[in-house]
Every structure is written in structure tokens, then in C-alpha cells.
């Protein structure tokens, strides 16, 4: 049996929607368990007092990355069939900056706002409405920024290709980087424990 299953035609689009719902449940469950339904905890990331965002995100990235890497090494998963979005470096850099600023102002990102709303938070609902308003604004100005939106296209390019390193080497470097980031996170949480919202619950 070969993976990804959907790409090998093991089930049709309608069945894939059932998988979408089940995978979504796992996603939402994990986000809520991790404290991501709380804007105070998410925002505390940017004041160094609660580093859950960094810890959970980098652990998840490392877990999925290692899993995928080893599953492809043993020939179970065909890496080339996994969808990688193309790089448009300038719009993505600017988009990331705007998104980061929006994160501190609003306290959520789109996924975590859904979890926050699911657990009864009104600011989560307002945030979702805000995201939809922002997307509407983007849709309306899209005809005027189309050139910029499609600029600096580099195609589908991964870090191993860009830095001319082997896939396994980049996987290793990301793990090292994550461990370093975890050590820094633990240190700063201790230093700023007095303003960690989790300690005030």
C-alpha cells in the first residue's frame, strides 16, 4: 500500500470530506488542549512569559517532518505527491509581517480563533468576523495588486533545494534549531513567570 492514499485513488472526493472533518477534530482538540483557545496565552508569546506557541508549533513541525522523512525513506510515502505551495517570496514576507502584527493586535490566528469561539469566547467570534472582513477587503483590492501578488515567484522550492543541502541534513538542522529554541523558551518563561497569564488562572 502506498501513501498518500488519496493520490493513489483509494477513496473519492466525498469520502475525503469525511476525513477532513475527522482530521479537523484532531486539529481542534490539540489546539484547545495546548491552550490555544486563549488569546492571553497566545499573546503572552510576544512578551516572553508563556512560550506555548513556539513549543507546540516547533514540536508539531519536528514530529510531522521526522515522520514524513522516515516514511519516505522506507518507501511508504511518495514525497513528490504531497502538495507544496509555490514560493512568492516578497508577498509572503510582507504578508507574514502584516499577519504577525495582526496576531498581537487580535490575539489569535484564524485556526485558534475557531477554537476560541468553540469554547464560548466572544473575542474569538469578533476575530473570525474580522478575518472575513480582511479577506473581503483583499478581494476588493485584488485587481489593483495582482502584479505584486504574483511577483517574485520562485516556483516550488524547499530549503534543501535552496541551500543545496541533503533533505536529511536540513531535517537534522531543524531539529537542532528547535531544541535550541526550546531551551531559550524555558529560560524566558522562568525569567518572566510573574506576568505569565497561565500562572494567574
Partner 1 sequence: MTTLVQKLSSVLTKDKEVVEVKTKPYSNPYLTGIGLGLVLLAAFVIMGRGLGASGAMSTLVAVGVNTVAPEHTQSNPFYSEYLGDGTTNPLKDWLVFEVLGVLAGGFISGSLAGRVKKGIEKGPNITSKKRLLYAFVGGSLMGIGAKLARGCTSGQALTGGALLNLGSWAFMMMVFAGGYAAAYFLRRQWL
Binding positions for partner 1, 86-145, rule CB under 8 A: 86-89, 91-124, 126-139, 142-143
Q: Which of 56, 172, 175, 188 binds partner 1 (CB under 8 A)?
A: 56
Nearest Cα neighbor of 91 from 23, 152, 28 is 152
Burial-class residue 48 by CB neighbours within 10 Å (0-12, 13-18, 19+): middle
Nearest Cα neighbor of 149 from 157, 137, 138, 159 is 138
Residue 109 CB, shortest distance to partner 1, in Å, is: 4
**φ/ψ (deg, to 5) at 168:** -65, -35
- Site size with partner 1, rule: CB under 8 A: 130
Q: Which of residues 149-188 bind partner 1 (CB under 8 A)?
A: 149, 154, 156-162, 167, 170-171, 174, 182
Residue number with CB closer to partner 1 (63 or 191): 63
Residue 34 CB, shortest distance to partner 1, in Å, is: 4
Q: Which of 9, 12, 21, 75 binds partner 1 (CB under 8 A)?
A: 21
Cα–chain center distance at 188: 22
Rounded to whole angstroms, the Cα distance separating 154 from 87 reads 5
Decide: is 34 part of the binding site for partner 1 (CB under 8 A). yes
Residue 80 CB, shortest distance to partner 1, in Å, is: 10
Decide: is 193 part of the binding site for partner 1 (CB under 8 A). no
Burial-class residue 194 by CB neighbours within 10 Å (0-12, 13-18, 19+): exposed
| Residue in the structure block whose three cell numbers are 529554541 | 181
Residue 117 CB, shortest distance to partner 1, in Å, is: 7
Amino acid at each position: 500500500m502506498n501513501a498518500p492514499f488519496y493520490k493513489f485513488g483509494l477513496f473519492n472526493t466525498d469520502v475525503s470530506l469525511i476525513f477532513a472533518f475527522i482530521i479537523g477534530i484532531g486539529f481542534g482538540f490539540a489546539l484547545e488542549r495546548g491552550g490555544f483557545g486563549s488569546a492571553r496565552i497566545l499573546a503572552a508569546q510576544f512578551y516572553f512569559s508563556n512560550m506555548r506557541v513556539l513549543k507546540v508549533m516547533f514540536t508539531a513541525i519536528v514530529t510531522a517532518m521526522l515522520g514524513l522523512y522516515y516514511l519516505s525513506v522506507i518507501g511508504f510515502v511518495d514525497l513528490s505527491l504531497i502538495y507544496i505551495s509555490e514560493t512568492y517570496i516578497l508577498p509572503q514576507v510582507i504578508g507574514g509581517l502584516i499577519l504577525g502584527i495582526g496576531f498581537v493586535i487580535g490575539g489569535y490566528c484564524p485556526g485558534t480563533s475557531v477554537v476560541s469561539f468553540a469554547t464560548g469566547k466572544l473575542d474569538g467570534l469578533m476575530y473570525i468576523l474580522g478575518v472575513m472582513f480582511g479577506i473581503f477587503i483583499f478581494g476588493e483590492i485584488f485587481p489593483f495588486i495582482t502584479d505584486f501578488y504574483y511577483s517574485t515567484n520562485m516556483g516550488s522550492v524547499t530549503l534543501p533545494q535552496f541551500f543545496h543541502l541533503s533533505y536529511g541534513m536540513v531535517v537534522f538542522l531543524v531539529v537542532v534549531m528547535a531544541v535550541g529554541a526550546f531551551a531559550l523558551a524555558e529560560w524566558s518563561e522562568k525569567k518572566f513567570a510573574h506576568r505569565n497569564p497561565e500562572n494567574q488562572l
